[in-house]
Amino acid sequence: MAQQPQGPEQDAEAPALPRLGGRRSSYRERVADALRAALVAGELRPGEVYSAPSLAARFGVSATPVREAMLDLAKEGLVDAVPNKGFRVTAVSDRQLDEYTHIRALIEIPTVTALTGTADRASLEALRPAAREIVAAAAAGDLIAYVEADTRFHLGLLALAGNAHLVEVVAGLRGRSRLYGLTALAQAGRLLASAEEHLELLDALVDGDEKAVREIMTRHLGHVRGLWAARTGGGM
């Protein structure tokens, strides 16, 4: 999604955000989740200012839950409040992104590999719908849905290890990641292959193939650096 930086007096080009319905009480969390996904997918660009009313129009809700969600993201350091204008997306350096990816690999690869001998089949199969959502989103080129489903899948998988703090740490690292190459990958028809790795990983876990699980997780996380480094549409 190519965008040009704009001054604070202008609202940045509106991203392709999903419209949300349902109970008002759930809007804030749902909007925050979708905004995090938009940040990770690169739909909300660093340095640009987005107003709550314009984002609310894209969600199909009032500006209040959007503003509240953006304040939550500001507490997480993902955006900065700009008085009377909206929220500016904070920039993340290449070094920071590389460090996040490195930490994720140190945590996720051994944790998921260890699930080969501890996770029961029913718990693993319960994650298959999310894996299929990832594939469907990739096929449709819906990057925000892709990131949301990908987050649910991976955090759900890590939760099977029974360490809530570990899941919280990885969730924070994922929220700070930026996958700028997703758009180019989707346009080139290559995102689907990465999406299908989630089903491949589940199959290996169900089969108890520890070696395959480690190999798939290593390969899968290895894609992340190529995705965030592709700031100008280079892809993996």
Q: What is the CATH number of the domain that holds 36?
A: 1.10.10.10
Note whether residue 9 is domain-resident: no
Based on the fold, state whether residues 168 and 55 are members of the same structural domain. no
Based on the fold, state whether residues 109 and 218 are members of the same structural domain. yes
pLDDT at position 201, please?
Answer: 97
Based on the fold, state whether residues 65 and 151 are members of the same structural domain. no
Based on the fold, state whether residues 110 and 30 are members of the same structural domain. no
pLDDT at position 4, please?
Answer: 37
pLDDT at position 106, please?
Answer: 96
Based on the fold, state whether residues 29 and 120 are members of the same structural domain. no
State the residue range of the domain holding 185: 94-229
Based on the fold, state whether residues 135 and 37 are members of the same structural domain. no
pLDDT at position 200, please?
Answer: 97
pLDDT at position 232, please?
Answer: 42
CATH of the domain at 209: 1.20.120.530
Note whether residue 4 is domain-resident: no
Note whether residue 61 is domain-resident: yes
Based on the fold, state whether residues 83 and 123 are members of the same structural domain. no
Note whether residue 192 is domain-resident: yes
Note whether residue 17 is domain-resident: no
Note whether residue 16 is domain-resident: no
Number of domains observed in the structure of the chain: 2
Please give the Cα distance from 164 to 231 (Å, whole number): 33
Q: How open is the CA angle 61-36-57, to the nearest 5 degrees?
A: 20
pLDDT in tens, the chain (236 residues): 333 334 333 444 445 555 444 444 466 788 888 888 888 888 888 889 999 998 888 778 788 989 999 999 999 888 999 998 999 999 888 888 889 999 999 999 999 999 998 999 999 999 999 999 999 999 998 888 999 999 999 999 999 999 999 999 999 999 888 887 787 778 777 888 889 999 999 999 999 999 999 999 999 988 776 675 555 433 33
Based on the fold, state whether residues 212 and 115 are members of the same structural domain. yes
Token pair belonging to 226: 């190529």
Note whether residue 69 is domain-resident: yes
- Domain ends where: 48, 71, 89? 89
What percent of the chain is modeled with pLDDT above 70?
83
Based on the fold, state whether residues 219 and 122 are members of the same structural domain. yes
Note whether residue 18 is domain-resident: no
Based on the fold, state whether residues 39 and 128 are members of the same structural domain. no
Q: How open is the CA angle 133-73-54, to the nearest 5 degrees?
A: 80
What would the pLDDT profile of 130-180 be if each residue is shown by its tens digit?
999 999 999 998 888 999 999 999 999 999 999 999 999 999 999 888 887
Based on the fold, state whether residues 128 and 83 are members of the same structural domain. no
pLDDT at position 223, please?
Answer: 79
Q: Distance between alpha carbon 94 and the CA centroid of its chain, in Å?
A: 17
Using H for helix, E for strand and C for coil, what is the string for the chain?
CCCCCCCCCCCCCCCCCCCCCCCHHHHHHHHHHHHHHHHHHCCCCCCCEECHHHHHHHHCCCHHHHHHHHHHHHHCCCEEEECCCEEEECCCCHHHHHHHHHHHHHHHHHHHHHHHHCCCHHHHHCCHHHHHHHHHHHHHCCHHHHHHHHHHHHHHHHHCCCCHHHHHHHHHHHHHCCCCCHHHHHHCCCHHHHHHHHHHHHHHHHHCCHHHHHHHHHHHHHHHHHHHHCCCCCCC
Q: Which residues contact 118 (CB under 8 A, 6 or more apart)?
A: 160, 161
Q: Which residue from 49, 87, 192 is spatially nearest to 134, judged by alpha carbons?
A: 192
Check: CB of residue 49 under 8 Å from CB of residue 58: no
- In the block, tokens 């940045």 appear at 12
- Domain ends where: 89, 118, 134? 89
- Domain ends where: 61, 89, 117? 89
Based on the fold, state whether residues 28 and 101 are members of the same structural domain. no
